[in-house]
Structure 1
Amino acid sequence: MAQIVKDQPAAPGRWAGGRPQRTPAAATRRRSDAKLAWLLITPAVIGFLVFFAYPTVRGLYFSFTDFHILTPARWVGLANFRELFADSVFWHSLWVTVYFVLLSVILGVLFSLITAVVLHRLTASTVIRGLIILPFLISGVVAALVWQWMLDPQLGIVSELIEKVTGQHLLFFGDSHWAVPSLAAISIWKSMGYNAVLIFAGLQTIPPTVYEAGRLDGASEIQMFRRLTVPLLRPILVMVVILTVIGSFQVFDIVQVTTEGGPANASNVLQQYIYEKAFGELDFGYASTMSLALFVMLIAITFTQMRLARANESDLS
């Protein structure tokens, strides 16, 4: 009897010999699903290859050439990189960019965190959240123009208010000491709402029982913020910091509209310098080299941040 059962063929689609048996219909269905999947992702793949992969490879090649767009690219090897290390303007632009990034990240994340906590504790209105995120939806050029008018030393409403309070005029974009902080303030104002909404979403994942236990232990609001809210928000905060760092290193539009790198290169961030080299002096080879250097720096900074902040870990367990 056991021999008869053993020799019986397995039913279609059932296990036979310890392995699943595929029927012709199932195999045909899998092939049809694969064709449909490739058909659906083909536009995205083409867009990635045309608008990202090809320009990246092309820019990498140009970084090793002397290319002035009007003449064919000439291979120069590491000459552009040697010029980069000896370029004082590049290092000055890098320092200005780092200064801008530090102001934007530290103050921007702090204000976004405070705004998100206030929203979480006081109101859950979607209208208020929508109003807070509105500046993020405005074009960077439009935001820069509006703030340039508001901070104008002669006609700006902000300058008029400061003059009435202090009796002095402030040249926000015309003073080398105030140019970068003014640009950072515009960047913070524009991105604060978006970052606050991201942090607000993270706050909603924290169980209310955590705060109830803290109140029972006699913890104040400030103590619960420092020892409960911030540690439990680590993954979200790391993501917000990384996005802010990348966005701040890539700042260009508000600088181009307001200061164009002035006065006296005081706000000449790295992207502005790359733009001037590429489209002002038509030196696309050297501009590609600086772009490659910025790309490598951003990758190193991002992985370092994720490593040090333990972005893949959460205290909510």
Structure 2
Amino acid sequence: MATTIAPVPPRTGRRVPRIALGKQSRSDTFTAWLFIAPAALGFAVFFLYPTLRGIYLSFTEYSLFGAPQFVGLDNFAAIADDALFWNSMKVTLWYVVLNIGFQTTIALGLAVLMHRLTKSGIIRGSILLPFLVANVIVALVWFWMLDYQIGIVNTMLGWVGIDPVAFFGSENWAIPTIAFVNVWRHMGYTALLIFAGLQTIPTTVYEAAAVDGATEVQTFRKITLPLLRPVLVLVLIITVTGSFQVFDTVAVTTKGGPINATRVIQVYIVERAFGRSDFGYAAALSVILFIILAVVAYAQNKWLRGGESDLA
């Protein structure tokens, strides 16, 4: 029996047309750039340009009364022998340890309590209220409340027989007091960030732990903390970077005193720039602070595995 083979149609030589970018796509791209433009312009004018100019000025000797004169690495060499710089870094590190330690611990506790015990929007919103007040106002209010002679806190201490404490006037108490003020103001905001991370943890995980008989402490240690790690790393990067740049609370209370006990690095930079008109040296200090913050942020994200999640 003969087999009939159907003829193969000849090739026409026509190519499948490529999909061209239509007018609608070009219009969407233009609209996107239109919305991005204001933010990009603001970033370039207020962040990128000042950063690049600051790096340039760090290699110069510059005051407002003359043009910058290139001096190479002289400013950085002088910083290595600057006792005030090393003192300011030591003071700043002590402040960061106190501020981050207490702020993160308290904020984590508040976030867990909000997540597990209450759904009231009023209670959750009230925790954020201190953060909504300007930092300068918060510092001034606590400065008056903690005043050695007329402050309400020392008055209350006197009622129970405790001698007045020079919270802002003592070398030992000044930095812990400033750290306490900023913890009080920022812990609500930090708790809100952590609370947002807790919202991403599936409730089924907690239900399974309850079925297995896990206690609250075991659930927190074995489930909440590991699953919350990416958010905690982000919070640590934000808070540590902000703590290294503390300025306004110190500027309106102790102004760096007593005897350099609160002269943090930002206060020292402002003093060299505007107090001594040594903008080149101040720019070099800023560059060093920028490098330190970049290294610290990278190390936190790398060592704490901020880009990984146990939910995956």
**TM-score interval (norm. to shorter):** over 0.9
Of 144, 148, 173, which residue of structure 1 is paired with 2:168? Answer: 173
CA RMSD of aligned residues (A): 1.6
Of 10, 17, 21, which residue of structure 1 is paired with 2:18? Answer: 21
Secondary structure of the structure 2 residue equivalent to 1:124 = coil
Q: Per-residue displacement from partner, 1:204-262 (whole Å, max 9, x unpaired)?
A: 22222222222333322122212211111101111111111011001000000010000
Find the aligned partners of 2:218 and 2:64 in 1 and give their Cα distance: 60
Deviation at 1:2, TM superposition (A): 4.3
Corresponding residue for residue 12 of structure 2: 7
CA shift in 2, pair 1:230/1:80, >3 Å: same
Q: Larger deviation: 150-159 or 174-183?
A: 150-159
Find the aligned partners of 1:215 and 1:34 in 2 and give their Cα distance: 50
Find the aligned partners of 2:176 and 2:223 in 1 and give their Cα distance: 32
- Aligned 1:1-317 pairs, distance under 5 A: 2-3=8-9, 6-7=11-12, 16=16, 21-22=18-19, 26-317=21-312
Find the aligned partners of 1:287 and 1:96 in 2 and give their Cα distance: 18
Corresponding residue for residue 13 of structure 1: none
Find the aligned partners of 2:206 and 2:157 in 1 and give their Cα distance: 41
Deviation at 1:9, TM superposition (A): 5.2
Find the aligned partners of 2:161 and 2:235 in 1 and give their Cα distance: 36
Secondary structure of the structure 1 residue equivalent to 2:9 = helix
Deviation at 1:112, TM superposition (A): 0.1
Question: TM-score, normalized by length of structure 2?
Answer: 0.94
Find the aligned partners of 1:97 and 1:166 in 2 and give their Cα distance: 34
Deviation at 1:137, TM superposition (A): 1.5
Please tell me the residue identity of whatever aligns with 1:167.
I
Find the aligned partners of 1:223 and 1:36 in 2 and give their Cα distance: 51
Find the aligned partners of 1:110 and 1:155 in 2 and give their Cα distance: 32
CA shift in 2, pair 1:21/1:140, >3 Å: same
Deviation at 1:166, TM superposition (A): 4.4
Please tell me the residue identity of whatever aligns with 1:108.
Q
Q: Per-residue displacement from partner, 1:146-166 (whole Å, max 9, x unpaired)?
A: 111111112222222222234
Find the aligned partners of 1:200 and 1:35 in 2 and give their Cα distance: 37
Please tell me the residue identity of whatever aligns with 1:142.
I
Find the aligned partners of 1:43 and 1:307 in 2 and give their Cα distance: 33
Corresponding residue for residue 3 of structure 2: none
Secondary structure of the structure 1 residue equivalent to 2:22 = helix
Q: Per-residue displacement from partner, 1:257-306 (whole Å, max 9, x unpaired)?
A: 01000000001000000011111111100000000000000000000000
Find the aligned partners of 1:186 and 1:212 in 2 and give their Cα distance: 39
Find the aligned partners of 2:311 and 2:23 in 1 and give their Cα distance: 45
Find the aligned partners of 2:41 and 2:206 in 1 and give their Cα distance: 49
Unaligned 5+ residue runs, structure 2? 1-6
CA shift in 2, pair 1:209/1:36, >3 Å: closer
Unaligned 5+ residue runs, structure 1? 11-15
Q: Percent identity?
A: 50
Please tell me the residue identity of whatever aligns with 1:274.
I
Please tell me the residue identity of whatever aligns with 1:185.
F
Q: Per-residue displacement from partner, 1:22-80 (whole Å, max 9, x unpaired)?
A: 35xx4333333333333222222221111111111110110000001111111100000
